Chain A
């Protein structure tokens, strides 16, 4: 192309980009004035004007992998030796952990959650079999639902570059097989000579067996069979916690996927475990007779294997042995174990248990693994050894590290001492003075949301919030089951029920039409609700029933008062960066108040206020989210929910501070807990929700709800969409659920091709706004103490700091229409910061007490619209206001505004909140004229996860052509109530 023409193309290309998308066709046709080929040339270039990620990253990033792999000369394919260093999806393979017929296992780094996981790379033959993979995927989903502290979790299935891998919890520690082997070696060594230096392995056979039984019991209750239980599949963590590995994998890896197989060589476990003779032998020894015969198997095959494992731990030898696989299988089918190999000191109950587990006839075998757990607990709980050992303080995790108490293998001790009598003594010593083990169960199991459980003072009933009939109401039911009683029936959203100490009343928060909360109470046996405290939520009763603690709905401050609202007292805020305080709980003696201080997003800290001295302390500083403190019965500990492990789980910490201890483990968000008065029982809700961006088609005339999802990554939260000036792209912020800080992302307007632009594992970067030229995103970064405004080019590069706040920052800001001015509201001040002159300016001051957290500048930049939240019921000031700071501010909408956005044609789009969480969309002119309702119901985010009271989460933006609205929504995947008994 000749130079002159090319320059013309270039200038038209940029000229078109500077204009609104709708104006471009006219601009181009006028500028090309009939030169069709020129028009086509420019248009074809504009059609590619989607910078997105094309060439968005320097070649070095691609090159890095290539170059790094080239160390040994050639760039390999996916051969095992070449795996370390490679990436499978967002997992970076670090080292090989082991291999088997079911594929190699690697330690890998999850670069999103920043934790180590185990990756099982599936054999290629299997990964290439679509039908098998479909089945595998289905079953992986089922297995991923197993959530038990004694089961190594399956996180999911990943595919990338033709490699399929199962992502699993990485359990550190030795397998039971290794532990047993080591113990045997040490005993052999010890026989060489008495002076030989060796250490007795610390070991707790029955404790391990009990934890295995608990894992099996939990899985069997959910219809999942292990099918390949053996010492090599049991790991003991350094803390003494048992983790059963590879649950259900044998079936998943079975090529037929059938329940039965015609002959032993085709039995599922055998074929799954591949070709290594040792591997088959290792598996065959724990195989039930029905498995060995290739017959149909059920959970009783796990019970058999459990018996084999228990026998081996106690006797030191395998229950069934043989030189070859067929010898072993023959022994399984025909022979009896060497019963005399069990130490004579083995309690009768345990001997009986093993015999019942190893019955060859399935109908004569122990029928439920729960019975094995009970038998073990009875033995452990008996008086054997009582007084010889200190009482254990915990049961699930076994022996705490560093404890002087060592447990030893009874058979090892017997051999060492060479006398049965000595064996007996050691056996006694080995037994802990036990307490019943922790037990997990589900209290509710319904569709919809069941959340915020509160135990009655007698610990027998639970009150909770549920939307099982549509609206959110308060329900009460007995823990032991039976009918539920619905206590309220008014459709308003409710939160956090709490029992009065005498068990007669239940207090709770109720949302009112002004978008603020009141505390109500209702008789626990049913009756008429009455309003207790205005403008408050999160009630907590003091143990004497005289005082209530609660949060001020408007300010987020924490108060106490008597039940009629008199003698109100403010709890001093311990930290100015907190936005709200919530979830107060009185200590059992009533002298202390535990509560949560919450700042932006999923971050929050525990605090404990001494009500006498007024001092507030932090038991543990959380860089993550801590919620729901609940006191132990003796008032020394706090149970709380924390995301410090990645997902929300229940933890325990000394009220005076210390190292927290993890109580539950799993993928859901376990939060909102309550402890019974005797401290033995915890109820909690497991809440799994996803924050997504949806698109509403404003062009639809009907009232049809049409929420078209734009983001769909269930592993991530995605919030606060902003349309690019040309309407082709969206910016938003997102984080991986758990503790990853939010980062700014960009996608096409239909949600496709999402790319992270800013992702920093140290701090959050939120609320990206487009510059008018569409080349930059301006966002709020938590990089410094007061936060700063930064920008990043949409084509990549390094973030640049535009202005660092020297006072309180505001992440809810607006970028003026010229892209030069950042507007923010700090309390009642509207501030503007000119990015070119670097001049801060106070545009105006609103009447004292009014806040303008959410604001937008007008299209001409001369005025500002801001949202005022109600400070009391029917506050006439609540709504949307516009001011040019010369004349009196004008109210252009009155009521509860959840969020608003600038639309085209000098319109403002706003979402009005309703107490039943069905929002209403309105459009109104900047001058307050032309108010019209958009007939489209919008569900409000109820934020059970975030604290209630923060009802401005439905961030949305209107497309430049006014035809679409992209909005943040929340979908609840699961919310039910669980219970832990025998809490440690």
Chain B
């Protein structure tokens, strides 16, 4: 079962990388299922706030997804990049559905637990971040990718550098500017909105 799903995922990833957008729609539930399983384990066993463990877990999830089937991508790094996109999509879809619920008068306000994402701005949420990230993408695509890989994909500076084929120093600089830029964007958004 796992073998065939691994194979299926590989096929989908390949299709998607070859420019078939629909493949991503099929990918998401598969990746989601695996991430959910890993999340359960993480919640049960891991200490919160332990970045190293989290990253390792995400990687494990990715590797399980790839299964034993040969990955036809150039590198492991590229595969991570796809997973980062899937992760982003899952999280943002979840956030949007929660926000819709809220507008419908049900559920809790859409806030992230203890501001783990935006500790200093606990009122902000993933949807706003996603929107801001799209703007950043338009401004400077590589910086957008750095954020996607680092934040949504859980990749280290070095791994991000490998995916983007730039130096780790460049990633560090991009990451720094991108965070300043996004923070400013979210602040403006929160001041003008509401």
Residues on A close to B: CB < 8 A?
A: 1, 6, 10, 13-14, 17, 44-68, 70-71, 75, 77, 85, 87, 90, 92, 111, 160-161, 753, 755-756, 759, 761, 775, 793, 795-799
Is B108 in contact with chain A by the CB < 8 A criterion?
yes
Contact A61 B48 (CB under 8 A): yes
Contact B44 A55 (CB under 8 A): no
In the complex, what distance in Å separates the CA atom of A70 from the CA atom of B93?
14
In the complex, what distance in Å separates the CA atom of A75 from the CA atom of B39?
14
Complex partner residue of A66 from B57, B94, B157, CB under 8 angstroms: B94
In the complex, what distance in Å separates the CA atom of A799 from the CA atom of B52?
8
In the complex, what distance in Å separates the CA atom of A55 from the CA atom of B182?
10
Q: Nearest residue in B to A776 (C-beta to C-beta)? A: B172
Which 9 residue pairs of A and B lie closest in terms of their CB atoms, listed nearest first? A58-B154, A67-B39, A48-B180, A64-B39, A48-B183, A53-B119, A68-B43, A68-B39, A67-B36
Is B51 in contact with chain A by the CB < 8 A criterion?
yes
Q: A74: shortest Cβ distance to chain B, in Å?
A: 9
Residues of A within 8 A of B131 (CB): none
Given A65-B113, A797-B157, A55 and B179 contact (CB-CB distance below 8 Å): yes
Q: Nearest residue in B to A1 (C-beta to C-beta)? A: B139
- Beta-carbon contacts under 8 Å, B130-176 to A: 139-140, 147, 150-154, 156-157, 172-173, 175-176
Contact B176 A65 (CB under 8 A): no
In the complex, what distance in Å separates the CA atom of A759 from the CA atom of B176?
23
Given A45-B180, A47-B184, A59 and B49 contact (CB-CB distance below 8 Å): no
Residues on B close to A: CB < 8 A?
A: 32, 35-36, 38-40, 42-44, 47-52, 54-55, 57-58, 87-88, 90-91, 94, 98, 107-108, 112-114, 116-121, 126, 139-140, 147, 150-154, 156-157, 172-173, 175-177, 179-184, 187
In the complex, what distance in Å separates the CA atom of A798 from the CA atom of B55?
9
Given A1-B139, A55-B147, A67-B36, A756 and B183 contact (CB-CB distance below 8 Å): no
Residues of B within 8 A of A52 (CB): 119-120
Contact A87 B139 (CB under 8 A): no
Q: A125: shortest Cβ distance to chain B, in Å?
A: 18
Contact B112 A87 (CB under 8 A): no
Residues of B within 8 A of A75 (CB): 94, 98
Contact A85 B120 (CB under 8 A): no
In the complex, what distance in Å separates the CA atom of A798 from the CA atom of B156?
8
In the complex, what distance in Å separates the CA atom of A67 from the CA atom of B95?
12
Residues of A within 8 A of B114 (CB): 87, 160-161
DSSP majority for the B interface? Answer: helix
Q: Nearest residue in A to B61 (C-beta to C-beta)? A: A60
Contact A796 B120 (CB under 8 A): no
CB<8 Å pairs between A and B, sample of 27: A45-B177, A45-B180, A46-B180, A49-B180, A51-B179, A54-B118, A54-B179, A54-B183, A55-B151, A57-B117, A58-B51, A60-B58, A61-B48, A61-B49, A61-B54, A62-B91, A62-B117, A63-B87, A64-B39, A65-B113, A67-B40, A68-B42, A85-B44, A160-B114, A161-B113, A795-B157, A797-B51
Residues of A within 8 A of B181 (CB): 45, 48
Residues of A within 8 A of B113 (CB): 62, 65, 87, 161
Residues of B within 8 A of A1 (CB): 139
Q: A8: shortest Cβ distance to chain B, in Å?
A: 13
Residues of A within 8 A of B156 (CB): 797-798
Contact A48 B187 (CB under 8 A): yes
Complex partner residue of A58 from B40, B47, B55, CB under 8 angstroms: B55
Contact A759 B50 (CB under 8 A): yes
Contact B177 A13 (CB under 8 A): yes
Residues of A within 8 A of B118 (CB): 54-55
Contact A53 B120 (CB under 8 A): yes
Q: Nearest residue in A to B121 (C-beta to C-beta)? A: A54
Contact B36 A71 (CB under 8 A): yes
Contact B54 A57 (CB under 8 A): yes
Q: B89: shortest Cβ distance to chain A, in Å?
A: 11
In the complex, what distance in Å separates the CA atom of A71 from the CA atom of B38?
12
Contact A59 B184 (CB under 8 A): no
Contact A59 B117 (CB under 8 A): yes
Contact A57 B177 (CB under 8 A): no
Contact B184 A795 (CB under 8 A): no
In the complex, what distance in Å separates the CA atom of A61 from the CA atom of B177?
23
Q: A479: shortest Cβ distance to chain B, in Å?
A: 46
B91, B94, B180, B184: most-surrounded residue (chain A CB, <10 A)? B180
Residues of A within 8 A of B176 (CB): 14, 17, 49, 51, 775, 795
Residues of A within 8 A of B87 (CB): 59-60, 63
Residues of A within 8 A of B184 (CB): 44-45, 47-48
Complex partner residue of B40 from A60, A68, A756, CB under 8 angstroms: A68
Residues of B within 8 A of A58 (CB): 51, 54-55, 58, 150-154
Contact A753 B51 (CB under 8 A): no
Q: B122: shortest Cβ distance to chain A, in Å?
A: 11
Q: B60: shortest Cβ distance to chain A, in Å?
A: 11
Q: A41: shortest Cβ distance to chain B, in Å?
A: 10
Residues of A within 8 A of B147 (CB): 55
Residues of B within 8 A of A50 (CB): 120, 183
Given A46-B180, A60-B54, A63-B90, A54 and B36 contact (CB-CB distance below 8 Å): no
